[in-house]
Amino acid sequence: MLEYLYFPHDISTFGPQVDWLFELIFWIVIVVWIAVMIAMLVFMIRYRARPGRKAQYIEGNSRLEIVWTMATAAILVALAFMSRSTWADIKEHGPPGEVFFLVNAKQFNWEFTYPGPGGKFGAKHDLTIENEMHVPVNKVVRIDLTSRDVIHSFFVPNLRLKQDVVPGHVIHVWFEATETGQYEIACAELCGFGHSGMKASLTVQSQEDFDKWLKDQYAHPPAPPAPAAPAAPPQGASPR
Residue-wise pLDDT for 168-204, tens only, equals 999 999 999 999 999 999 999 999 999 999 999 999 9
- Most confident stretch, 5-9, 202-206, 229-233: 202-206
- DSSP summary character for residue 196: G
d(CA 110, CA 185): 9
Q: What pLDDT score does 34 carry?
A: 97
pLDDT at position 185 is 95
Burial of 175 (0-12, 13-18, 19+ CB in 10 A): buried
What pLDDT does residue 223 have? 66
- Positive/negative CA dihedral, 34, 37, 39, 41: negative
Per residue in 127-138, pLDDT tens?
Answer: 889 999 999 999
User: What pLDDT is attached to residue 231?
Assistant: 47
Instruction: List, in sequence order, every residue forming a beta bridge with 163; answer none if it has no partner.
Output: 154
pLDDT recorded at residue 127: 87
Write down the pLDDT at residue 230: 53
Average pLDDT taken over every residue of the chain = 86
Strand-strand pairing, 132-136 and 161-165: unpaired
List of domains in the chain: 2-49+60-92 (1.10.287.90), 99-219 (2.60.40.420)
Choice between 55 and 201, residue whose per-residue pLDDT is larger: 201
Average pLDDT over residues 3-21: 84
Q: Using CA atoms, how far apart are residues 38 and 60, in angstroms rounded to an integer?
A: 20
